[in-house]
Amino acid sequence: MSKAQFLAERQRPGEIYAGLILGKDGQPDYHLFLLEAKPKAPLNWTDSNKWAASVGGELPNRCEQSLLFANRKEHFDKGWYWSSEQNAHDGSYAWMQYFNDGLQDDIHKSHKYRARAVRRELII
């Protein structure tokens, strides 16, 4: 199947194909789609997750943000964007990515930053 054929069958209106994520630890591989929707203003982490769900997606994880930076950074304003991942050692912090240079860091969830949503399609 060609890429054009794949996108014609799988890509939904308002989505941008971002690429393939390889599953780890027995998890399936999947295709990642960036939703075009953007919140009107920066949000804290909890509200960013709620917003992403309201537009039919989820916040991307850190691996997905790296892929988005590599393949689709032109669809992001320069600045920090929330990921779906919390800090493993302190649940009051979550990870984010800087779409200027690709840096990832964590910060308290109460701060307000940008958000984007993604959709995953498993490869079976």
How do residues 19-54 score in pLDDT, each as one tens digit? 999 999 989 999 999 999 999 999 999 999 999 999
Model pLDDT, residue 8:
87
| Residue 74, token pair as written in the block | 């032109």
Element spanning 8, H or E: helix 3-10
What CATH number did the domain enclosing 76 receive? 3.10.100.10
pLDDT of residue 67: 98
Q: DSSP labels for 11-31?
A: PPTTEEEEEEE---TTPPPEE
Cβ neighbors of 19 (< 8 A, separation 6 or more) are 31, 32, 67, 70, 71
pLDDT at 64: 98
| Token pair for 93 | 């912090």
Q: Do the Cβ atoms of 94 and 45 come closer than 8 Å?
A: yes
- Count the domains in the chain: 1
Range of the domain at 98: 3-122
Positions of the chain with pLDDT lower than 50, given as ranges: none
What's the pLDDT at 113? 98
